[in-house]
Structure 1
């Protein structure tokens, strides 16, 4: 290799250049040739590696090699070839200028550290994408773990770069770093809290990617699309994105709708407020009239027979309607709604079905429908609930009841 060290030197001397000028020109000529070789070797290495990976990926059944190509691992690895060539050729190019050789070699060593980090980063990103394709791991906070490993890798890389630039020992650097741990803890507080939160979320299975969560403090109500080291991203139903600090998952309260999604139905819990003054006992004529409602006919007949039997056996004076046992229009309406929901095709019959009367309010008597729709999709759920209340509100007048409405409201 030494014969190439002064390959152009003699030619420049023959043209009457001074020795110093000849050395500089020789170095520049060799440097230009080296740059051309580096460029060509990088181009050739990239083409070979990319073609090899692409061919192998097209024939293999696994997606891992495709992800390696997508995350540019072969492209970054190809840069190793020109780097090695450059390091080997430095003594030839800068044979007459040792200070230049030392400076360039230091820069290349720094570049080597960065390149290794970049290659490992691409591999980590590939692993993250691959793990997300696995059914058991696709809803786990993989990004958080990858970011922690990358953080550790960058700390080591920066430490090596600092050691190369200053010349101090690596042990001394980390000893100094340990003394400054209080400052580092303050700087990386959110990162540390996020990492701890990610571990707890994964172990306790609190939140998964794809879960529907509600967090009023942050205005979040939608689907979790990403969990990383510092933030959790929620795509709200209006398609906006809310970023929540990951550590808030263990320090703040939130609602996870996964239980509803995994159950057999989605809860319907809504009330109709009945005017109290419209509630009254039913006369025999009104009961006969209500028997025309098919789903109430058998119930009213049986109920009426039981009441007559009770009142007769106890010699109840029915000249006053309040005496003895009676049916009320609200009670019969409640039974009607209960029967209607039980027969509704969109209601899950294996879950709680209940029509109940809540505590009276200044507005009236709330009659609550409590059931679960079989279809949990939001749009269909809203349609089912609306259908039930459309029917229920329309049925109110048949029982001589009235719905409360705020009649004296004056808009501002």
Structure 2
């Protein structure tokens, strides 16, 4: 103690040196406080929390950040003990230390909110009701309050004085935070109306989005497209603009097949009796053909009894038999929904490219790869079996078709064709 007093007496004549030593001692004390808090107190705290199963790896960063308050409090209270320090400098250090404490507390609360969101995201219902947008809105409010408190602390004014001045800036704040307000309203509508969930497949061509939703935040919704690119859509756009959500398809358990076979209309004709009997070989339409023929025979018999001309009689067509075959094939297919969901085979309006025979049904899976495989197998079979019904697919002539037709012409026909082409060129 006497040595300390003697040293103090020796440096009493050097106030700047005394101040420098005081600051050095204060910084050393703050460093020790930080080390003791993080390496001793936090370890004790972890052991206590582990006994009650409250500590884990996620809460460790929060405790580390909160421990930064200890050195700031040491500096705030110890700066008064530094000798010969100007009052203005002392006030500035204390205000900065107080502002640092406020900022640290807000950052800690922000980390706690992130932890809450991460824990909530693990729940099964989190995809249906995400809270990330609300968490972000709370963070914005917290940082706004922290900014007011920090400014008030640094300039040594009451926060209420700053808040009273904000009333005149309300219009400016509304303009500045217009996007945030719109995003908040959109986020509430999306969540409350269950319009969008993480994992939904959405399609919005005007927004360059076609894929799965991977994140729903306050300002943006991220969509991972099928080409693995990421599209960030403003949340408000999903309220003002239209988009397609494929969730209903996924939840129904079936994915729609809607594709047509273009039948060459020149191959459509009535079936001869021998052809009808030949088609009875197909087990899928054996009953249909016999039942349909009995119906037609009964109809024609009534016409004959009424003395009508034979031209009024009904006859079976190959396109009708093929349509019945496709219908029975789909009903018997193990990977096609035969009940509960629509299943039909219909003719559309004839076109210049043939008669569209549309298949409309739903597969028993929504997985893309399996769906495409089922669809391809069905149309492979239909195209291959068309000749059995005397039908052909329509296909526009290609250069090879023209060359093959030219090779079949007789020499005289080739000469006539060449002469006709020469005459046309002279004209």
TM-score by length of 2: 0.86
Q: Would you say the 8 A contact 1:194–1:230 is kept in 2?
A: yes
Q: Aligned pair count? A: 397
1:210-266 Cα shifts (integer Å, max 9, x gaps) = 111111111111111111110000111221111000011110101111111111311
Q: 2:202 aligns with which of 213, 216, 219?
A: 213
Q: 2:192 aligns with which of 203, 222, 245?
A: 203
Counterpart CA distance in 1 for 2:23 and 2:260 is 84
1:187-210 Cα shifts (integer Å, max 9, x gaps) = 211111110001111110100111
Q: Would you say the 8 A contact 2:216–2:222 is kept in 1?
A: yes
Q: Would you say the 8 A contact 2:121–2:130 is kept in 1?
A: no
Match of 1:68 in 2: 59
Alignment pair present for 1:342 and 2:331: yes
Q: 1:269 to 1:161 in 2, by over 3 A?
A: same
Q: 1:44 aligns with which of 32, 36, 44?
A: 36
Q: 2:164 aligns with which of 147, 171, 175?
A: 175
Tell me the SS of whatever aligns to 1:342. Answer: helix
Q: 1:256 to 1:299 in 2, by over 3 A?
A: same
Counterpart CA distance in 2 for 1:395 and 1:289 is 14
Alignment of 1:281-296 (within 5 A): 281-296=270-285
Match of 1:143 in 2: 132
Tell me the SS of whatever aligns to 2:285. Answer: helix
Alignment pair present for 1:26 and 2:18: yes
Counterpart CA distance in 2 for 1:153 and 1:386 is 56
Counterpart CA distance in 2 for 1:293 and 1:365 is 24
Match of 1:364 in 2: 354
Match of 1:106 in 2: 95
Q: 1:122 aligns with which of 87, 111, 130?
A: 111
- Structure 1 residue 42, shift from structure 2 partner: 1.5
Counterpart CA distance in 2 for 1:296 and 1:111 is 84
Unmatched 5+ stretches in structure 1: none
TM-score by length of 1: 0.89
Match of 1:326 in 2: 315
Q: 1:60 to 1:132 in 2, by over 3 A?
A: farther
Match of 2:425 in 1: none
Q: Would you say the 8 A contact 1:226–1:232 is kept in 2?
A: yes
- Structure 1 residue 171, shift from structure 2 partner: 2.6
Q: 1:196 to 1:303 in 2, by over 3 A?
A: same
Alignment pair present for 1:379 and 2:375: no
Q: 1:316 to 1:230 in 2, by over 3 A?
A: farther
1:306-330 Cα shifts (integer Å, max 9, x gaps) = 212321232189xx98641111111
- Structure 1 residue 367, shift from structure 2 partner: 1.0
- Structure 1 residue 393, shift from structure 2 partner: 1.5
Tell me the SS of whatever aligns to 1:359. Answer: coil
Alignment pair present for 1:276 and 2:297: no
What's the RMSD between the two structures over aligned residues? 2.6
Range with bigger deviation, 363-372 or 93-102: 93-102
1:165-189 Cα shifts (integer Å, max 9, x gaps) = 3344323322322222222222211
Q: 1:49 to 1:309 in 2, by over 3 A?
A: farther
Tell me the SS of whatever aligns to 2:125. Answer: coil
Counterpart CA distance in 1 for 2:299 and 2:225 is 58
Q: Would you say the 8 A contact 1:163–1:169 is kept in 2?
A: yes
Q: 1:34 to 1:138 in 2, by over 3 A?
A: farther
Tell me the SS of whatever aligns to 2:374. Answer: helix
Q: 1:160 to 1:343 in 2, by over 3 A?
A: same
Tell me the SS of whatever aligns to 2:257. Answer: strand
1:74-99 Cα shifts (integer Å, max 9, x gaps) = 11111122222222211112554322
Counterpart CA distance in 1 for 2:297 and 2:258 is 36
Q: Would you say the 8 A contact 1:219–1:242 is kept in 2?
A: yes
Tell me the SS of whatever aligns to 2:203. Answer: strand
Q: Would you say the 8 A contact 1:224–1:235 is kept in 2?
A: yes
Alignment pair present for 1:391 and 2:381: yes
- Structure 1 residue 56, shift from structure 2 partner: 6.0
Q: Would you say the 8 A contact 1:68–1:74 is kept in 2?
A: yes
Alignment pair present for 1:77 and 2:73: no
Q: 1:27 to 1:153 in 2, by over 3 A?
A: same
